[in-house]
A and B are shown apart, each in its own frame.
Chain A
Amino acid sequence: MMASFLLPVFEWMESTPVGQAIQHSASLIALLESIHLIGLTLLLGSILMVDLTLLGFGIGRAPASRIASELRGWIAAGLAIMLVSGPLLLTSEATRCYKNPAFWTKMALLAIAVIFHFTVHRKVVSEEPPAPRYGAALTACLSLGLWTSVALAGKAIAILQSS
């Protein structure tokens, strides 16, 4: 599926005590999944508000730059929660994920979404005076589309894993 030099890394992850412990506890997996989903909720909710502001459906007349700086901490918190719980979940079924195309799709989309968020999105959001309307709207749509795709690919991992 992917560069085969990664397979031993995935096998090792699964063999670690952490991977073993999570793998053998359904309640631990459910707990980690809940935490992962709460992180996603925080992340998507905050990004949605910033993007709605870019699209002109913001809070009052607050500019996108202000909403974005007020929510920056919560976006980071959501991302951090996901980046801790995600790899922990991965250790419990690393070799199965390795063979799962949805997993690699999600990783690729995640990389694109993160890069887009911290480069183009951040620049457009903080522009003074605000970016031209169509530019801002396009950025918002791309941002929402990318993050939703990451979430959908995440759900697809579970669906393909069970089939």
Chain B
Amino acid sequence: MFLLSICQWLDSTRLNAAMRMSTWFFPTFDVIHTLGIVLVAGTIMLVDLRLLGLALRSEPVASVVERIVPWTLRGFSLMFVTGALLFSSEAVKLYHSPAFRIKLVLLALAGLNALIFHRTIYRDVANWDQTAAVPIRARLTGLLSLAFWIAIIAAGRAIAYGSGYDLG
């Protein structure tokens, strides 16, 4: 209930009223938010596919991660800022949306998956990068990450059916 009161407070702020009054606010931030997600998921999927041995096989895993992950993080900040603003424009509604809750859980799981990878198996990437096969745990990270991001995109679409403007 603590979270619900925060949502109620967000809905009562002046910023919220301004956002709801504006006709361009929602579409504009929705567009930027979508582009942010496409950037995050599009780049992280390439890393995942590399870990699974399905793309960029001639490039070492370490260089793929080093060069691509900064773009993932850039996309993430875009997605996070716009997402927070979109959320605060209809906080109580989203509090009650199952799709929104699922999306947040999936985002946390995707983050945790990436964090565990970086803190454990990726630490000795130098030892396994030149071998023919990527270790099974790293491949598992790739597979989980792909599944999480596909599900996050689907959950986002599901939210759109209950908020902002009706796409149906």
Contact = CB atoms under 8 A, between A and B. Distances in A.
Interface string B29-41: 0110011011101
Contact of B168 (A26, A34, A59, A151): A26
A52 B56 CA distance: 15
B63 A33 contact: no
B167 A44 contact: no
A34 B59 contact: no
B67 to A, nearest CB: 5
Interface stretch (B11-19, B80-88, B134-142, B151-159): B151-159
Contacts of A152: 31, 35
B165 A151 contact: no
Contacts of B39: 44-45, 48
Contacts of A74: 46, 49, 55
Contact of B56 (A41, A48, A67, A148): A67
B92 interface: no
Contacts of B64: 59
A71 B55 contact: yes
A152 B167 CA distance: 16
A10 B39 CA distance: 33
> Is chain A's binding surface mostly helix, strand, loop or mixed?
helix
Given A45-B46, A66-B58, A159 B165 contact: yes
Nearest to B23: A163
B45 interface: yes
B27 A30 contact: no
B-side interface size class:
35 or more
Nearest to A61: B63
A45 B45 contact: yes
A127 interface: no
A37 B157 contact: yes
B27 to A, nearest CB: 5
Contact of A37 (B31, B67, B71, B153): B153
B32 to A, nearest CB: 10
A74 B50 CA distance: 12
A161 interface: yes
Interface string B136-150: 000000000000011
A30 B157 contact: yes
A40 B94 CA distance: 26
Contacts of B165: 158-159, 162-163
B67 A70 contact: no
Nearest to B49: A74
14 contacts: A33-B167, A38-B150, A41-B37, A41-B41, A48-B42, A57-B67, A58-B67, A59-B64, A59-B67, A66-B58, A67-B56, A70-B55, A152-B31, A159-B27
